[in-house]
């Protein structure tokens, strides 16, 4: 069988791990003396120190006491040459000696119990060792048995009878992991203290091969038979020299000597412990280093004082009197400057605060808001009150790159709140303080509305010279942009237009009949209808709106709104009713069908006003001549005719016969449901059906007479509308 291996990968015959000598890494000018004068401290590859020595120059080169000695023999007849130490009871082969750790690394035999293939014992060896003054080190040695049927015992400690050991059992030697005592095919136990001798025995329970071995043995060495207190009483035999101290050995009966802190060398020799020059070896100072006996001193760099040992952390500048005076003057001047700036800043902040409070009161932040809330029993709990600084930060101080739209009455900015919510901020240009009430009016009305097709109010700000409103951000512009601007005119399909009309009618029906208090918008137009990215309609701009008490059907007010969308009767009588919003919506419906502006001075005089032009076309059965080309191409003539007739029915001859917004919304909703169930094929070029519907052929199937010219938003003289053409 092959030679078994110890857990560290060494062959079993090598039982001692070489404990390397702890080499001095400290650099000194003088070589530290480790042996007595005229005595050698090296032989072959072994370096040793007193109390160990060779007898080639006299017996005083090594320590000897009674029957014990530290004599080293050199045998150059072996290959390689070996060293032995003898205490007159046994010779021990030495591998290494450590004066600092008081350890000797030695080579000893291991026990073996080997069997041949027939099951008979081919080799058996049970070693023993007797040591007079060198106890086996329990800290550096382990008792280890290797094999699959191995029972190993250790008997030691002179004068005491005990047996210790361990058992290892496994099915096959293949289960043993080479180089590791993993618990399979290997067991281990500790070496007891004060073991000056041992007998090792190994057996197997069965007749098959089994082996064991334990790791290399390390011995502790000491000055025997006395403890420190007793040894110090006899100065002629006490071994510890100057600059050293004595400690009782932890393993065995005796003591050991060690150099004091700050010294190095051999504590058993006269002047053997030499001072360490920390200034050379450690370089521990940030300033000047001074070596002292057993220690050192660190000064701080020039201009500093304190202890320089901590890398300069405890060094403080040395300041003379003139420097203190200059520093005091500088600090005083700095304090005066800071105090002045603080006073100015505090004064400025108080001024800004008073100005904001003034604006807050002037803008209706308290009394006017409370009065209107009391009158209308409204609530603005859902509206947040923003500070001026918050909105400045949200709009990058109202930078021009944030502008969404501008009009005669103000500007709308795109803002980003700290929670990354995008909002639209309306900043008014009100020159008349009486118009602040209009701002509060819109705030109160929007705070009472919760409808998916009405723009949502987020909050407001009273701290600026003119008040600000914060709305949800609607992404895709106004209905007017999509109908009248060239860059949008091809994007709005017939179906999208019909859905926008239905959603706008539904929002107005909600305001008239389902809100907690009846609300009349009073300024419905294509610029006040915003569109989301998917063309969802949002009714906006409630600055001219009015709350109508439940017991009232009309209000007498100053005429407000945009001239081309105004109900003529309201214009004449100033009597505001639900019919006023119906008329305005009918104009928006005509814009959706024709793509024409409500008022354009670039059209013929008879065609300038869209409401009358639209009514005239229906009456003269010329509807398809003015319908938008995309509507004409995508819509079925029946659909177009039905929506046109709905717009016409909104404005019957008798005002009391006009449709309500609820009826208009229901008609449009019903038409959308029919389209969903029975989608008609595009018949816009079906001339025969067009003749049947209108009594004449349309002049064009692939186009219409449509004006893209810009008209002026002409408003009546007695209105000051809070109108921003962007619709935000």
Asked about 523 being catalytic, the answer comes back as: yes
SS3 175: helix
Q: With a cut of 90, say whether residue 260 has pLDDT above it.
A: yes
Mean pLDDT of the chain: 75
How far is Cα of residue 341 from the mean position of the Cα atoms in its chain? 38
Q: With a cut of 70, say whether residue 619 has pLDDT above it.
A: yes
Q: With a cut of 80, say whether residue 59 has pLDDT above it.
A: no
pLDDT computed for residue 28 by the predictor? 31
SS3 337: helix
Identify the helix (H) or strand (E) that includes residue 316: strand 314-317
Q: Which is it for strands 128-130 and 121-125: parallel, antiparallel or unpaired? A: unpaired
Q: Cβ–Cβ contacts within 10 Å for residue 65, how many?
A: 15
Rounded Cα distance, 255 and 268, in Å: 12
pLDDT computed for residue 238 by the predictor? 92
Q: How confident is the model at residue 88 (pLDDT cuts 50, 70, 90)?
A: low
Burial 116-152 (b: 16+ CB within 10 A, else e): eeeeeeeeeeeeebebbbbbbbbebbbbbbbbbbbbb
For residue range 654-713, what is the model confidence (pLDDT) as tens digits? 667 788 899 999 999 998 888 877 655 444 434 344 444 443 433 333 333 333 333 334
For residue range 386-437, what is the model confidence (pLDDT) as tens digits? 888 999 999 999 999 999 887 656 788 999 999 999 999 988 776 555 556 6
Q: What is the pTM of this model?
A: 0.47
pLDDT computed for residue 5 by the predictor? 35
How far is Cα of residue 559 from the mean position of the Cα atoms in its chain? 58
How far is Cα of residue 612 from the mean position of the Cα atoms in its chain? 64
Q: How confident is the model at residue 86 (pLDDT cuts 50, 70, 90)?
A: low
For residue range 338-359, what is the model confidence (pLDDT) as tens digits? 888 888 887 777 766 666 556 5
Q: Could you tell me which residues are beta bridge partners of residue 314?
A: 307
Please state the three-class secondary structure of 594-628 as a single string: HCCCCECCCCCHHHCEHHHHHHHHHHCCCHHHHCC
Rounded Cα distance, 480 and 489, in Å: 10
Higher per-residue pLDDT: 527 or 159: 527
Residues with Cβ within 8 Å of residue 280, at least 6 apart in sequence: 27, 28, 29, 291
Tokens 């670039």 locate to 602
Q: Which two tokens stand for residue 531?
A: 């569109």
Identify the helix (H) or strand (E) that includes residue 572: helix 568-573
pLDDT computed for residue 375 by the predictor? 52
SS3 193: coil
Q: Which of 442, 422, 360 is nearest to 724 (CA)?
A: 442
Rounded Cα distance, 581 and 588, in Å: 11
For residue range 136-169, what is the model confidence (pLDDT) as tens digits? 888 888 888 887 788 888 887 666 778 888 888 8
How far is Cα of residue 687 from the mean position of the Cα atoms in its chain? 68
Task: Give backbone dihedrals phi and psi of 147, rounded to 5 degrees, phi first.
Answer: 150, 170
Q: Answer yes or no: are the C-beta atoms of 632 and 624 closer than 8 Å.
A: yes
Q: With a cut of 80, say whether residue 370 has pLDDT above it.
A: no
Backbone angle region of 661, left / alpha / beta, with phi > 0 → left and psi within -120 to 50 → alpha = alpha
Mean pLDDT confidence for 258-266: 93
Q: With a cut of 70, say whether residue 74 has pLDDT above it.
A: yes
User: Would you list the DSSP string of 391-439?
Assistant: HHHHTTTT-GGGEEEEETTEEEEEEE-TT--EEEEEEE----GGGHHHH
Mean pLDDT confidence for 708-719: 36
Q: How far is CA 275 from each of CA 19, 27, 280, 308, rounded to the nearest angstrom?
A: 27, 12, 12, 21
Q: Which of 289, 540, 547 is nearest to 404 (CA)?
A: 540
Q: Cβ–Cβ contacts within 10 Å for residue 686, how many?
A: 15
pLDDT computed for residue 369 by the predictor? 54
Residues with Cβ within 8 Å of residue 74, at least 6 apart in sequence: 43, 44, 54, 81, 82, 83
How far is Cα of residue 308 from the mean position of the Cα atoms in its chain? 41
Higher per-residue pLDDT: 407 or 510: 510
Mean pLDDT confidence for 12-19: 25
Q: Which two tokens stand for residue 327?
A: 């520093």
How far is Cα of residue 714 from the mean position of the Cα atoms in its chain? 56
Q: Which of 5-14, 170-179, 634-643 has the lowest mean pLDDT?
A: 5-14
pLDDT computed for residue 393 by the predictor? 93
Q: How confident is the model at residue 726 (pLDDT cuts 50, 70, 90)?
A: very low
Q: Which of 670, 483, 652, 496 is nearest to 583 (CA)?
A: 652
How far is Cα of residue 407 from the mean position of the Cα atoms in its chain? 44
Q: How far is CA 146 from each of CA 112, 139, 263, 689, rounded to the nearest angstrom?
A: 10, 21, 45, 108
Burial 269-292 (b: 16+ CB within 10 A, else e): beebbbbbbbbebeeebbbebebe
In the set 523, 541, 581, 713, the catalytic residue is 523
Rounded Cα distance, 634 and 704, in Å: 13
Task: Give backbone dihedrals phi and psi of 579, rounded to 5 degrees, phi first.
Answer: -60, -25
Q: Answer yes or no: are the C-beta atoms of 99 and 34 closer than 8 Å.
A: yes
Q: Which of 101-105, 329-333, 460-464, 492-496 has the lowest mean pLDDT?
A: 460-464
Q: Out of 210-214, 440-444, 539-543, 559-563, give the one with best mean pLDDT.
A: 539-543
Q: Which of 4-8, 190-194, 535-539 has the lowest mean pLDDT?
A: 4-8
Identify the helix (H) or strand (E) that includes residue 634: helix 629-634
Q: Which two tokens stand for residue 304?
A: 């500093």
Higher per-residue pLDDT: 279 or 351: 279
pLDDT computed for residue 402 by the predictor? 92
Higher per-residue pLDDT: 488 or 223: 223
């Amino acid at each position: 069988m092959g030679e078994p291996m110890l857990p560290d990968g060494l062959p079993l015959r090598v039982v001692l791990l070489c404990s390397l000598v702890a080499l001095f890494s400290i650099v000194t000018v003088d070589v530290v003396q480790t042996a007595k004068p005229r005595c050698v401290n090296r032989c072959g590859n072994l370096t040793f120190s007193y109390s160990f020595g060779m007898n080639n120059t006299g017996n005083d080169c090594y320590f000897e006491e009674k029957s014990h000695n530290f004599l080293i023999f050199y045998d150059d007849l072996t290959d390689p040459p070996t060293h032995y130490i003898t205490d007159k009871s046994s010779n021990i082969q030495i591998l290494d000696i450590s004066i600092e750790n008081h350890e000797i690394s030695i080579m000893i035999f291991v026990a073996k119990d080997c069997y041949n293939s027939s099951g008979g014992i081919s080799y058996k060896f049970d070693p023993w060792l007797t040591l007079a003054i060198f106890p086996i080190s329990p800290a550096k040695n382990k008792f280890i048995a290797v094999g699959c049927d191995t029972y190993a015992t250790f008997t030691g400690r002179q004068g005491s009878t005990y047996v210790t050991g361990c058992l290892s059992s496994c099915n096959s030697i293949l289960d043993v992991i080479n180089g590791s005592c993993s618990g399979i095919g290997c067991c281990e136990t500790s070496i007891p203290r004060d073991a000056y001798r041992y007998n090792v025995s190994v057996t197997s329970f069965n007749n098959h091969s089994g082996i064991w071995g334990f790791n290399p043995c390390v011995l502790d060495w000491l000055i025997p038979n006395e403890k420190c207190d007793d040894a110090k009483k006899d100065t002629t035999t006490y071994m510890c020299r100057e600059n050293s101290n004595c400690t009782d050995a932890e393993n065995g009966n005796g003591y050991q000597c060690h150099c004091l802190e700050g010294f190095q060398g051999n504590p058993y020799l006269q002047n053997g412990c030499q001072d360490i020059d920390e200034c050379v070896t450690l370089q521990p100072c940030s300033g000047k280093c001074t070596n002292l006996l057993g220690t050192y001193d660190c000064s701080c760099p020039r201009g500093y004082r304190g202890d320089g040992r901590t890398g300069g952390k405890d060094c403080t500048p040395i300041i003379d009197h003139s420097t203190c005076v200059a520093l005091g003057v500088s600090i005083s001047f700095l304090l005066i400057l800071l105090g002045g700036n603080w006073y100015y800043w505090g004064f400025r902040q108080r001024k800004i605060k008073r100005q904001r409070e003034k604006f807050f009161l002037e803008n209706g932040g308290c009394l006017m808001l409370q009065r209107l809330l009391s009158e209308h029993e409204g609530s603005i709990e859902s509206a947040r009150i923003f500070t001026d600084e918050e909105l400045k930060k949200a709009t990058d101080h109202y930078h021009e790159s944030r502008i969404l739209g501008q009009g005669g009455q103000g500007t709308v900015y795109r803002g980003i709140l700290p929670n990354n919510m995008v909002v639209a901020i309306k900043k008014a240009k009100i020159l008349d303080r009486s118009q602040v009430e209009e701002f509060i009016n819109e705030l109160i009305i929007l705070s009472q509305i919760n409808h998916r097709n009405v723009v949502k109010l987020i909050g407001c700000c009273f701290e600026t010279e003119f008040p600000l409103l914060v709305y949800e951000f609607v992404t895709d512009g106004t209905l007017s942009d999509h109908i009248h601007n060239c860059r949008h005119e091809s994007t709005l399909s017939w179906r999208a237009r019909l859905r926008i009309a239905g959603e706008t009618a539904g929002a107005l029906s909600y305001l008239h009949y389902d809100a907690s208090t009846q609300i009349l918008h009073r300024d419905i137009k294509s610029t006040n209808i915003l569109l989301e990215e998917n063309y969802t309609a949002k009714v906006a701009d409630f600055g001219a709106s009015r709350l109508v008490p439940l017991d009232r059907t009309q209000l007498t007010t100053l005429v407000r709104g945009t001239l081309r969308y105004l109900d003529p009767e309201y214009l004449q009588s100033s009597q505001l009713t639900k019919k006023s919003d119906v008329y305005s919506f009918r104009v928006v419906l005509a814009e959706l069908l024709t793509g024409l502006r409500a008022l354009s001075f670039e059209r013929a005089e008879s065609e300038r006003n869209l409401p009358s032009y639209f009514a005239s076309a229906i009456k003269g059965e010329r509807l398809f001549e003015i319908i938008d080309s995309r509507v004409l191409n995508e819509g079925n003539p029946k659909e177009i005719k039905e929506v046109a007739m709905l717009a016409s029915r909104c404005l019957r001859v008798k005002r009391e016969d006009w449709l309500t917004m609820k009826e208009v919304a229901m008609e449009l909703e019903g038409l959308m449901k029919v389209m969903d169930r029975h989608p008609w094929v595009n018949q816009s070029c079906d001339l025969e059906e067009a003749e049947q519907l209108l009594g004449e052929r349309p002049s064009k199937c692939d186009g219409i007479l449509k004006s893209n010219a810009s008209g002026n938003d002409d408003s009546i003289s007695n209105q000051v509308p809070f109108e921003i053409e962007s619709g935000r």
